């Protein structure tokens, strides 16, 4: 069977990573969560006090970029790769609401995007990859054989993220999660460099009322048409 590149883009908390992981497992492809990379850079910026509630020292972050080493290491017990920042597993801290509140500002910085996009393109040189993010079908892999764009209402997405955070014991309110989702949507769709837009040749899936199984089956059918 022909190996292809699958790009999955869309708004936050649309279940992109769940679908991407399922596909990668089924097809024995590599899965790359590019949001984790932007989150790791945001976490680094927070740790170094380059960003906070009312400040963002972009110049300091840009200067420090060569010191940021990002790596995915496969965890066989989990069945997917985890994000490492300068040798440290940061899967847990990068998923907090605090990092979520800064990540889109960090992702607006062109120098950050250039560095991460280069690394993402390298990971895809051999195809057989499922990558999810915001600019995969438009910037990272404009020639991807299959492009999916996922949407759902902000409320549906906030409810999902709220439930996820609660499961992890994170003490946040639904209102705060919804506010974060709406804010990130705004920044992601309005930024100058690589805004979140649907690629001309992407297939849109609104999963507000679709189960995971239904989405998975629909996308597998699309893949069969391509390979
Ligand atoms: O996918 P996730 O919600 O974890 O992504 C976190 C943030 O990282 C997004 O809201 C967006 O600002 C940024 N991002 C991006 N480009 C990507 C992936 C994520 O700008 N390819």
The alpha carbon of 1 and the centre of ligand 1 are apart by a number of angstroms equal to 31
- Please state, in angstroms and rounded to a whole number, the distance separating the CA atoms of residues 155 and 14: 11
Cα 22 to chain centroid distance, Å, stands at 15
Which of 51, 103, 196 is the best mutation target for the ligand 1 pocket, counting ligand atoms within 8 Å of the beta carbon and taking the most? 103
Question: Domain residues for 147?
Answer: 5-221
Listed in sequence order, the DSSP H helices in 86-141 are 97-106, 110-123
Confirm whether 108 is domain-assigned: yes
Minimum-distance ligand 1 atom for the alpha carbon of 17: 1
β-strand pairing of 146-151 with 5-10: parallel
d(CA 145, CA 104): 28
Beta bridge partners of 151: 206
Label the pairing between strands 80-85 and 88-89.
antiparallel
Could you read off the pLDDT tens digit of each residue along the chain, which spans 227 residues?
Answer: 899 999 999 999 999 999 999 999 999 999 999 999 999 999 999 999 999 999 999 999 999 999 999 999 999 999 899 999 999 999 999 999 999 999 999 999 999 999 999 999 999 999 999 999 999 999 999 999 999 999 999 999 999 999 999 999 988 999 999 999 999 999 999 999 999 999 999 999 999 889 999 999 999 999 999 99
Q: Determine, yes or no, domain membership for 89.
A: yes
126 in any annotated domain = yes
Task: Report the number of distinct structural domains present in the chain.
Answer: 1
- Cα(59) to centroid(ligand 1), Å: 21
| CA 174 – CA 91 distance, rounded (Å) | 22
Nearest residue CA, atom 15 of ligand 1? Answer: 134
CATH of residue 125's domain is: 3.40.50.300
Q: Let me know if residue 226 belongs to a domain.
A: no
């Amino acid at each position: 069977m022909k190996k292809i590149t699958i790009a999955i883009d869309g708004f936050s908390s649309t279940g992109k990573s769940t679908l991407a992981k399922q596909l990668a497992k089924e097809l024995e492809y590599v899965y790359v969560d590019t949001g984790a990379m932007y989150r790791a850079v945001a976490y680094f910026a927070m740790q170094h006090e380059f960003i906070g509630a009312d400040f963002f020292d972009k110049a300091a972050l840009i200067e420090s970029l060569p010191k940021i080493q990002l790596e995915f290491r496969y965890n066989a017990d989990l069945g997917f790769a985890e994000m490492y920042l300068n040798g440290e597993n940061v899967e847990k801290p990068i998923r907090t609401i605090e990092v979520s509140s800064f990540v889109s500002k960090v992702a607006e910085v062109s120098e950050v995007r250039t560095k991460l996009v280069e690394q993402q393109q390298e990971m895809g040189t051999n195809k057989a990859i499922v990558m999810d993010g915001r600019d995969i079908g438009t910037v990272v892999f404009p020639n991807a054989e299959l492009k999916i764009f996922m949407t759902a209402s902000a409320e549906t997405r906030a409810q999902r993220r709220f439930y996820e955070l609660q499961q992890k014991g994170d003490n946040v309110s639904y209102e705060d999660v919804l506010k974060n989702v709406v804010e990130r949507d705004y920044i992601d769709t309005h930024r100058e460099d690589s805004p979140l837009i649907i690629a001309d040749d992407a297939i849109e899936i609104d999963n507000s009322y679709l189960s995971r199984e239904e989405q998975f089956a629909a996308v597998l059918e699309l893949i069969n048409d391509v390979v």
